[in-house]
Amino acid sequence: MTGYVHSFFSGGMVDGPGIRTVVFLSGCPLRCQYCHNPDTWEKTDGIPRTLDYVMDQVLKYRTYYKTTGGGVTISGGEPFTQPQFLLEILRECKSRGLRTALDTSGYTNIKTAEEVLQYVDLLLLDMKAYYPTSYKKLTGVDIQPTLDFLELSRKMKIPTWIRYVLVPNLTDNINEIADLAKFLHNFDNIEKIDVLPFHNEGEHKWEQRGLEYQLTETQPPTEALLAEVKNIFLRASAPRT
């Protein structure tokens, strides 16, 4: 089994609990305007790696996973672009007693998702937007597969962390955020929601690839806006009385 791997990051502490190795797979069908890794869009941007090679890399840090409650996170790109390779990595990790996390947009079909999620301990789901028109404008694809994926995660009782990137004048529609917060409150498998402030540190990668970067003038959200959006999600998740 061989797939395309963009890179590995060892010692990660934000892509799931504990110390983790993050495996970045290449290939992504989304074209998010704020993407800071356009060098992962094409599958062949990565390096062909065997399953054995991947496992050799992640097993180096097995002791750290055990002592910190960490494990292996598969990210991208969009990992579901290489569904069979993704499945085999996760299956092998579980057979070695490693805890797994999957960072994804959820853009896949349900049959594939069902096969993969049975080997996932934690789901990191990127919610790019909520209204279908906003999602399409931002990513170039439809939101329905992601909504179906989230529903499946609930049925399979997969612990889930939601990630929402806050971009001024792009994903900061307060009404849309409030509606998203209300929607997410219905999912009892969601453990937390992270609001991530936009940054343009990947702009140079767009330039290197001859791509037009539309957010050159966009600044990170203010502390006030960031706090407001976080509070919207917090209020929506408060227990009903």
**Would you state the pLDDT for residue 11?**
85
Distance CA(71)–CA(213), nearest Å, equals 34
Question: For 88-146, what is each residue's pLDDT tens digit?
Answer: 999 999 999 999 999 999 999 999 999 999 999 999 999 999 999 999 999 999 999 99
Percent share of the chain, pLDDT over 90? 93
Q: How many domains does the chain have?
A: 1
Contact of 210 with 203, CB cutoff 8 Å: no
Structural domain boundaries, residue 126: 2-237
pLDDT above 70 (res 238): no
Query: Any idea which of 43-52, 211-220, 231-240 has the lowest mean pLDDT?
Result: 231-240
How far apart, in Å, do the first and last CA atoms of the chain sit? 52
Task: Tell me whether the omega of the peptide bond preceding residue 77 falls within 30 degrees of 0, making it cis.
Answer: yes
pLDDT above 70 (res 32): yes
Distance CA(94)–CA(87), nearest Å, equals 11
Candidates 232, 235, 218; CA nearest to 174 is 232
Q: Is 13 helix (H, G, I), strand (E, B) or coil?
A: coil
pLDDT above 60 (res 239): no
For every residue of 173-231, DSSP letters joined together read: -HHHHHHHHHHHTT-TTEEEEEEEE---TTHHHHHHTTPPPTTTTPPPPPHHHHHHHHH
Q: Mean pLDDT over residues 160-176, rounded? A: 97
Question: For 34-62, what is each residue's pLDDT tens digit?
Answer: 999 999 999 998 999 999 999 999 999 99
> Residue 196 CB: number of other CB atoms within 10 A?
15
Mean pLDDT, all residues of the chain:
95
The residues with which 126 forms a beta bridge, in sequence order, are 163
Percent share of the chain, pLDDT over 70? 98
CATH value at residue 233: 3.20.20.70
**Would you state the pLDDT for residue 241?**
38
Question: For 177-208, what is each residue's pLDDT tens digit?
Answer: 999 999 999 999 999 999 999 998 889 999 99
